[in-house]
A and B are shown apart, each in its own frame.
Chain A
Amino acid sequence: MLLEIIISAFIVIAGIFGLVGSLGMIKLQETMQRLHAPTKATTLGVGGVLIASMLYFGLVKGHLSFHELLITLFLFLTAPISAHFIAKTFLQANIRAKDLPPSQSEYGWSVYVDPPNREEDEE
């Protein structure tokens, strides 16, 4: 009984987080703000579903598996990378290089300037 309550609580919390993440996509005003909602809230929602699934199959069904942890790990690793790429896409399309603060290094921001080619520099 207690187990069922814990699993149900995880599923309900995950559902609320997932809905909040998708609602933020509609509610927030600008693209860079909208980047926050799915990458944080929805990832947490999926994490809750995966924890609930692991508890359910491990403790109720009796065969514990770590597949869910793999999916959680994969999602938590890839969500920042895809968010970074989407932010770069937005910058490239909408922001000019001169509107940004200086990058404080020899080269400009990587979205606007090609990566330094060390071999060519040496020649």
Chain B
Amino acid sequence: MITSALIFAFVCFGLGLLLNLWRMATGPDTADRILALDTMVINIIALLILYGIWQGTAVYYEASMLVAMVGFVSTVAYCRFVLRGDIIE
């Protein structure tokens, strides 16, 4: 039962990634593209943890933690670059 639920969630988050990719490619504004990238990072975290449940190992926590931190820092850095033309003033 957990296996079929996992497959359903994999499909959901994979489809979500494709929709985000569409928004990132066609987004009319820079803010749309940054938002799409941020959402892609969150979806990838969910996929990593689901894969960890699928494999039955706890190795993927560290990977998802790192992805979460790098995603947050890169979103803020990109926004600051667009806002002020510099990341650290």
Residues of A in contact, count (CB < 8 Å): 54
State the B residues within 8 Å of A (CB). 1-2, 4-6, 8-13, 15-17, 19-20, 22-23, 28-32, 34-36, 38-39, 42-43, 45-46, 49-50, 52-53, 56, 58, 61-62, 64-65, 68-69, 72, 75-76, 79-80, 82-83
Shortest CB-to-CB span from B33 to chain A, Å, is: 10
- Other 10 A-B pairs with CB < 8 A, given A22-B15, A56-B53: A11-B6, A18-B12, A18-B13, A26-B23, A31-B28, A38-B39, A49-B46, A78-B72, A82-B38, A93-B29
Q: Which residues of B contact A74 (CB under 8 A)?
A: 65, 68-69, 72
Residue contact B50 to A57, C-beta cutoff 8 Å: no
Taking a contact as CB atoms closer than 8 A, the residue among A15, A85, A92, A111 that contacts B13 in the complex is: A15
Given the complex of chains A and B, what is the CA–CA distance between A19 and B2 in angstroms? 19
Residue contact A53 to B52, C-beta cutoff 8 Å: yes
Taking a contact as CB atoms closer than 8 A, the residue among A21, A67, A70, A92 that contacts B16 in the complex is: A21
